[in-house]
Structure 1
Amino acid sequence: MTTKETAIQLTRANLYSIFGETNPSTRLSKIAQLWVPDTEVLFIDPLGVFNTHQGISDMVAKLQDMGPGQVFTELSEVDVLSPSTDQDLWVTRLKWGAGPPGGEPVLTGEDVMTIVGGKIKTLYTFLGGKA
């Protein structure tokens, strides 16, 4: 059974260990560890719909190429809903920024994530533009 703390940790790990990871093989390994099996994933953001671990990793690489050297930071606490503990279903929300290390974010966004059975199942990212 997933705990609230685990849901928060998964949300943060997705931001830092996946979106912040520049090594493709390390990132793909982390996606396989944190997300549900390849055939069950769904990630939607302004760049498209991604239904595989490799698709998510490739999209992250494209995003990182748009602003090399940028780091992700949390701009809010992780909000957590547990609409169905008997189904081990959690929903989290996190506002984030991306920008130069120690500097102001040049891009902001908000992630809404569904966690099922202790793994990330869906992620919806809304971009907010420049901070």
Structure 2
Amino acid sequence: MTATRQLVERYLQGWNETDPLRRRALIEDVYAEHAAYVDPMIEARGWEAIDATIAAVQDMFPGHVFTLAGDVDAHHDIARFQWHLAEPGADEPLVIGFDVAVLDAGRIRQVHGFLDKVPVAA
């Protein structure tokens, strides 16, 4: 397993961690201090904002789990990968996303997130 894939798996582990102290430790380990996360619905800069974003997503989708969907494609200091968000044991993911991460010294400096499938509001 490559170091980049391991970093991406720890990134997703952070999105799944519900214990605030363990999640914050993962965030500080995975992201550079002034990292940014941007997707169509949010822009978060720094560890505090990223932590708050993850907590908000967990509140919106309680019990759901992020998983890596396929390989991590990387070159130089850029990685791209697809992920699924689903309830454990679900046949189909509720949300499908695609992230591009810019790396810096083995940590994530920026994430550009894209949402390929999102639930329709009732």
TM-score (norm 2): 0.89
Deviations 1:71-98 (Å, cap 9, x if unpaired)?
Answer: 112222111111xxxxxxx111110111
Work out the CA distance in 2 between the residues paired with 1:124 and 1:11: 13
For 1:92, the aligned partner's letter is A
Match of 1:66 in 2: 60
Match of 2:3 in 1: 6
Shift of residue 111, structure 1, vs aligned partner: 1.0
Gaps of 5+ in 1: 83-89
TM-score (norm 1): 0.83
Match of 1:123 in 2: 111
Runs of 4+ in 1 over 2 A off after TM superposition: none
Work out the CA distance in 2 between the residues paired with 1:111 and 1:44: 10
1:108 aligned onto 2:96: yes
Match of 1:86 in 2: none
Pick one of 27, 30, 35 that aligns with 1:31.
27
Alpha-carbon RMSD across the aligned residues, in angstroms, is 1.6
Pick one of 51, 55, 80 that aligns with 1:93.
80
CA contact (8 A) 1:108 1:130 kept: yes
Work out the CA distance in 2 between the residues paired with 1:44 and 1:8: 20
Gaps of 5+ in 2: none
Task: Tell me how many residue pairs correspond in the alignment.
Answer: 118
